[in-house]
A and B are shown apart, each in its own frame.
Chain A
Amino acid sequence: MLIKNNILSLPLLDKRIKKIITLKINKEYDTKKLLEIINADSSLRVRLLFLANKSFFSFPNYIQSSSKALSLYGMNFTSSICIIELILNTIKFDLRAYSFSYEKYLYLFDFTYKIINEFIDEKDIDLKEKLLIPMFLYDIGKFIFSKIVYEQKEEKVFKDKFIECKNVLNFEKSYFSYSSYEVSAYILKYWNFDKEIEDIIYYVSNPSLAKDNKKLIYLLDIIQSLTNLSMPYSHHSINEALIKTRLYGFDWKKLEKIIKSNKNNIRILHGKS
């Protein structure tokens, strides 16, 4: 009931999200319309420029206009970033119960996308493009959980148990009877966002039950092991992710190599509060 009430109290989805989704689906590559949406909102423009100038992506010169960033990233990636940013703006970011700050979370997300982007084959452009939105959205259920924990004044109990858990999914199910991915799917359903993405996120909790988009769901399952909020990119998390990679038929050695080559970024992540 608490979860349902919290979902119902959420703001409705920003109408610009639907506009951007339509631009993506139409494949007309109407960059002018997308730029209009971006330039009318500082948060969209800033997010794009911030990413474009981050050392992860290594563009040689400083990118100072959103049109330049769009031409470098392409329509699909830029649209996805905008959708994610608009959703982040809609719902109150709250990972207090998971002891994760906004800055640390964004760093984790950006860094993980870089890793997965390198991991997925160049030929699999469709998979890369489809991955971005669910990769972010599947965690928004945690904002609701964190809010409930604080409303019920259970933060100490929750945090003490959370810090010891090795599997966030199982921990959430035992604490709330739902995983945060299921709650994320319910939020998207409330927003009438996109049925396909709703289903992808829903089945991250039970990848074996998925009928469509299996490859994408397996990847998300690997990512949720890697980015386990109680100990992201820890020895245990990386190990679990590599086991799943092998199980799902991906090249686990390639993933291991990529993670090893990003040791510095992992160190930075662990250093953040």
Chain B
Amino acid sequence: MENHEYFTKLKSLCSSYSVLFVDDNLHYHNEVIKFLNILFKNTFIANDGVEGLKLYKKEKIDLILTGLNMPNMNGHDMIREIKKISPDIEVLILSSHRDSMTLLSCIHLGISDFISKPADINKMIIIFLKVLSNMKRKSEVCRQIKLKDEKNEEILSFLYENSMSIDIINYYKGLVFRSAAYIKEVNEESIKLKVNHLQLLACKNEKLAVLDSSLIGENISCSLISSNEEEYEILLKKETFFYPKLKNYSDLILETNQDVKAYFKINKKIFCKINKISKKEISFSFDESNCDIKKHDEMELYLFLDNEENDNYQKVHSIVYKITKENNICKIILLLKKDKNIEEYIEKYLSKREVSLLKEFKNEFLV
């Protein structure tokens, strides 16, 4: 009686869902239709892809069972159109041996499974059970995410009602500005904060900010709507919640100044522009026509960082981590091999660069 148990389980899973059955030979599938009517809350029937698509747009449908070869619009085209509306919709194909090529193309669209014709009810039970269990698992995950979002919103309200602070983070060419902010107003879309003056300037410059509270696991990425320097207030639009990478001082990555020079050798010296630098990685760019470099290649970069005691290029051993090409420019990120001397060399540059960047920032934005 195993199938009976599966059927009972399947019935309980299906009871809150609606299904769309599409086939041009419905009179051959009376058993299937009866089967669907018993299981599902609602069963919608269509004769071809056009009708199927129309019904899908009109009704709230959770699962689709469809044939492939149909007049007016075949199963493949109907699935493609429906997937444009709902990319995650579960689709089962009812296919015959002749449909194998079309079936293959449907797999690329993202179908859940297929059932061979003529449909065997016992096999259908197993397949439906698999698909419906998956649907239930997905909807539980979505529910948890929604609950977490609601919880995060509640925490923001909690912070506001109890006059507790939230950390606000901004960046200027790699410099990190971080301080406490107090919530003045919060709603679904936006959040108004009282911040210190330096943070307000940093936020005005970046037009973004990240909010971080120890009560929330994720950080909130926000965009700046407006600022009021007289009142030390900023109004932010909440964009996304995200899990931040762990950051500490050794991860400081700064934009470089013009005095930094570098080259590497492939047959000849190729000079490049250093974009960003940290003790662990260097990002640089150069003319794409010279790019004969692959990911994971070992590379020796000759680096000049304008440290007073040393006016020679320093050889930096590294591995190519990432390559991107855009508008005839090749951009590469290198991961540096551990070398105490190079680390110290770069650290000295970073500490001076931090000072000059902060001076630059304050000169530009402070009275």
- A: residues with CB less than 8 A from B are 9-12, 14-16, 39-43, 45-46, 49-50, 62-65, 86, 89-94, 96, 102-103
CA distance A102 to B363 in the complex (A): 8
Is the beta-carbon distance between B194 and A92 smaller than 8 angstroms?
no
Q: CB-nearest residue of chain A relative to B196?
A: A90
Given contacts A12-B182, A50-B355, contact A102 B249 (CB under 8 A): no
Q: Across the interface, do B354 and A45 meet the contact criterion of CB distance under 8 Å?
A: yes
Are B351 and A92 touching (Cβ within 8 A)? no
Q: Which residues of A contact B249 (CB under 8 A)?
A: 39-40, 45
Let me know if A14 and B355 touch, CB within 8 A.
Answer: no
B1 within 8 A of A: no
- How many A-B residue pairs have C-beta atoms within 8 angstroms? Tell me: 82
4 further A-B contacts with Cβ under 8 Å, apart from A9-B230, A64-B352, A102-B367, are: A9-B232, A14-B180, A42-B175, A43-B358
Are A10 and B232 touching (Cβ within 8 A)?
yes
Supposing A14-B196, A89-B196 touch, asked if A42 and B367 sit within 8 A by C-beta, the answer is: no
Tell me if B295 counts as interface (CB < 8 A to partner A).
Answer: no
Q: Return the contact of B355 from the options A46, A92, A103 (Cβ within 8 A).
A: A46
Q: Which residues of B contact A50 (CB under 8 A)?
A: 355
A10 CA to B196 CA, complexed, in Å: 8
Q: Could you pull out 11 A-B pairs where Cβ atoms are within 8 angstroms?
A: A12-B182, A16-B180, A39-B248, A40-B178, A49-B355, A64-B347, A64-B351, A64-B352, A89-B197, A92-B197, A93-B366
Query: Nearest-CB distance from A62 to chain B (Å)?
Result: 7
Task: Determine if B354 and A49 form an interchain contact, defined as CB atoms under 8 angstroms apart.
Answer: yes
Is B198 an interface residue when CB atoms closer than 8 A count as contact? yes
A39 to B198, CA, bound (A): 17
- The reply to whether the CB of B229 lies closer than 8 angstroms to some CB of chain A is yes
Q: How far is the CA of A10 from the CA of B182 in the complex (A)?
A: 12
User: Does B197 contact A91, Cβ atoms closer than 8 Å?
Assistant: yes
Q: Of B194, B230, B358, which one neighbours A46 at CB under 8 angstroms?
A: B358
Complex Cα spacing A65 to B232, Å: 32
Whether A11 contacts B194 in the complex (CB less than 8 A), given A65-B347, A102-B362, comes out as yes
Cβ-neighbour of A40 out of B176, B348, B367 (below 8 A): B176
**Chain B min CB distance to A79 (Å):** 17
Binary contact readout B335-367 vs A (1 if CB under 8 angstroms, 0 otherwise): 000000000100110111011011000110011
In the bound complex, CA of A96 to CA of B367 (Å): 8
Given contacts A12-B182, A92-B367, A43 and B198 within 8 Å (CB-CB)? yes
- In the complex, chain B residues whose CB is within 8 Å of the CB of A41: 176-179
What residues of chain B lie closer than 8 Å to A103, measured between beta carbons?
Answer: 363
- Complex CA gap A128/B362 in Å reads 29
Pairwise interchain contact A43-B177, C-beta atoms closer than 8 A: yes
**Cβ–Cβ < 8 Å partners of A40 in chain B:** 176, 178, 249
**Smallest CB-CB separation from A146: which chain B residue?**
B367
Most chain A CB within a 10 A radius of its CB, from B177, B344, B351 = B351
- Alpha-carbon separation in the docked complex, A190 to B350 (Å): 38
B308 to chain A, nearest CB (A): 8
A167 to B196, CA, bound (A): 32
Q: Which residue of A lies closest to B195 (CB)?
A: A11
Q: For this complex, into which size category does the number of interface residues on chain B fall? A: 20 to 34
In the bound complex, residues from chain A placing their C-beta under 8 Å from that of B199 are 89
Q: Closest approach, in angstroms, between the C-beta of A272 and any C-beta of chain B?
A: 13
Q: Which residues of B contact A9 (CB under 8 A)?
A: 230-232
Q: Mark B187-215, 1 if CB is under 8 A from A, else 0.
A: 00000001111110000000000000000
Could you tell me the distance in whole angstroms from the C-beta of B350 to the nearest C-beta in chain A? 8
Residues of chain A with a CB closer than 8 A to B348's CB: 62, 64
- Kindly provide the distance from the CB of A19 to the nearest chain B CB, expressed in whole angstroms: 11
Q: Which residues of A contact B175 (CB under 8 A)?
A: 42
Is B165 in the interface zone, CB < 8 Å from A?
yes
Residues of B close to A86: CB separation below 8 A: 179
Q: Complex Cα distance A81/B355, Å? A: 16
Chain A residue at smallest Cβ distance from B354: A46
**A42 contacts which of B177, B180, B195, B347 (Cβ < 8 Å)?**
B177
Q: Are A94 and B367 in contact (CB under 8 A)?
A: yes
Q: What CA separation (Å) do A215 and B267 show in the bound complex? A: 73
Cβ distance A260 to chain B, nearest Cβ, rounded Å:
31
Contacts of B355 in A (CB 8 A): 46, 49-50
Q: Please state if B180 and A102 are interface contacts (CB–CB under 8 Å).
A: no
- Closest-CB distance, A261 to chain B (whole angstroms): 27
Q: Tell me the chain B residues, 168-189 only, with Cβ under 8 Å from chain A.
A: 175-180, 182
B194 to chain A, nearest CB (A): 5
Give bound CA distance, A90 to B357, whole Å: 19
Contact between chains at A42 and B354 (CB < 8 Å):
yes
The CA of A90 and the CA of B180, in the complex, are separated in Å by 10
Q: Which residues of B contact A91 (CB under 8 A)?
A: 196-197
Q: Which of A14, A39, A62, A92 contacts B179 (CB 8 A)?
A: A14
Complexed CA–CA distance, A40 and B363 (Å): 22
Choose one: B180, B229, B344; the contact of A92 (CB below 8 Å). Answer: B229
**CA–CA, A43 to B229, complex, Å?**
20
A39 to B366: give the CA distance in the assembly, Å.
23
In the bound complex, CA of A15 to CA of B213 (Å): 14
* Residue in B195, B199, B249, B350 with the greatest tally of chain A CB atoms within 10 Å: B249
> Closest B-chain residue to A52, C-beta based?
B351
**Nearest CB to that of A12 among chain B residues?**
B182
Cβ–Cβ < 8 Å partners of A15 in chain B = 165, 180
Alpha-carbon gap, A41 to B354, bound state (A): 11
Chain B residue, CB-CB nearest to A64: B351
Q: Are A11 and B362 in contact (CB under 8 A)?
A: no
**In the complex the two chains form, is A89's CB within 8 Å of B180's CB?**
no
CB nearest neighbor in B for A10: B232
